[in-house]
């Protein structure tokens, strides 16, 4: 398996949450990492916190010229491109009878289309290195949460895309995989205006007993799996659940939990 040391890695949505946690993990192991986000002040602060091995770029991945500039910075910073982590994403929720078409198009643009376009842009450079692409799916495709159809649909699209691109890019020695995180505290709900930090954290912690392991996850635990997919040289087209067992759909069976031992 490859080592992260000396790798050049591009991570979208790297200013917080899973993206920042993955950047920290990779920098600590000798990689040069380029991260991006829409807010210049936030992405610059995030990059500064990781030191000279990390470069931050203010970029909106739904904008073509921003994608081109982002790639140029990553190539300049790292000298090559070994891995692309398509982590940037937005949340949009609502009842199917109340969805706004423009909002729906926007979340597909960010979560699916922009990631496809950036992957295409990076492909020639990844091919030179036998590199890797990691998409971020979601446990929303394993468990049905009413009101989350827009977000779940984008993540289902990403998972289908992963398998097609694994087949399409395999001849160029590019590996394409998808990670499906369980409940991990990030800012995606807050960016969507759904709740504040405290409410979001309480909501996630309230889901602890739905996980087989009894707790929500951490960004470092997701980063470990990200690193594996960037480095594993004979893994492609895989969907890997890193969810503490949330996707198992655990429910209490009254016939068992209420049973009195004879």
List the chain domain ranges.
Answer: 8-257
What pLDDT was estimated at residue 90?
A: 92
Told to judge if 92 belongs to the known catalytic residues of this protein, a careful annotator would answer: no
**Model confidence pLDDT, tens digit, residues 64-114:** 999 999 999 999 999 999 999 999 999 999 999 999 999 999 999 999 999
What pLDDT was estimated at residue 262?
A: 44
For 8-257, which CATH class? alpha beta
CB count in 10 Å sphere of residue 115: 26
Q: How far apart are CA 18 and CA 35, in angstroms?
A: 12
What pLDDT was estimated at residue 143?
A: 82
Q: Which of 128, 136, 18, 3 is nearest to 75 (CA)?
A: 128
**Model confidence pLDDT, tens digit, residues 190-248:** 454 555 666 666 666 677 877 888 888 899 999 999 999 999 999 999 999 998 888 88
Residue 141 has pLDDT above 60, yes or no: yes
Buried b (16+ CB within 10 A) or exposed e, 1-38: ebebeebbbbbbbbbbbbbbbbbbbbbebebbbbbbbb
* Residues in CB range of 107: below 8 A, 6 or more apart: 90, 91, 92, 150, 151, 154
Catalytic, out of 25, 92, 151, 228? 151
**Model confidence pLDDT, tens digit, residues 104-130:** 999 999 999 999 999 999 999 999 999
Q: How far apart are CA 76 and CA 219, in angstroms?
A: 27
């Amino acid at each position: 398996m490859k080592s992260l040391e000396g790798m050049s890695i591009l991570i979208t949505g790297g200013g917080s949450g899973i993206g920042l946690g993955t950047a920290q993990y990779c920098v600590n192991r000798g990689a040069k990492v380029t991260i991006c986000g829409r807010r210049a002040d936030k992405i610059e602060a995030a990059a500064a916190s990781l030191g000279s091995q990390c470069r931050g770029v203010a970029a909106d991945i739904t904008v073509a010229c921003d994608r081109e500039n982002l790639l140029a910075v990553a190539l300049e910073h790292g000298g090559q491109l070994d891995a692309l982590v398509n982590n940037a994403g937005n949340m949009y929720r609502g009842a199917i009878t109340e969805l706004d078409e423009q909002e729906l198009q926007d979340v597909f643009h960010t979560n699916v289309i922009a990631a496809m376009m950036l992957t295409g842009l990076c492909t020639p450079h990844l091919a030179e290195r036998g590199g890797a692409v990691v998409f971020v799916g979601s446990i929303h495709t394993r468990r049905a949460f009413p009101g989350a159809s827009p977000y779940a649909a984008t993540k289902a699209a990403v998972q289908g895309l992963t398998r097609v691109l694994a087949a399409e890019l395999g001849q160029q020695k590019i590996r394409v995989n998808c990670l499906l995180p369980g409940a991990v505290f990030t800012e995606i709900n807050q960016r969507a205006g759904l709740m504040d930090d405290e409410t979001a954290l309480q909501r996630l912690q309230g889901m602890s007993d739905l996980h087989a392991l009894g707790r929500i996850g951490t960004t470092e635990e997701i980063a470990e799996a990200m690193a594996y997919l960037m480095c594993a040289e004979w893994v492609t087209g895989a969907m890997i659940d890193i969810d503490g067992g949330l996707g198992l759909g655990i429910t209490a069976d009254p016939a068992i939990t209420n049973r009195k031992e004879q």
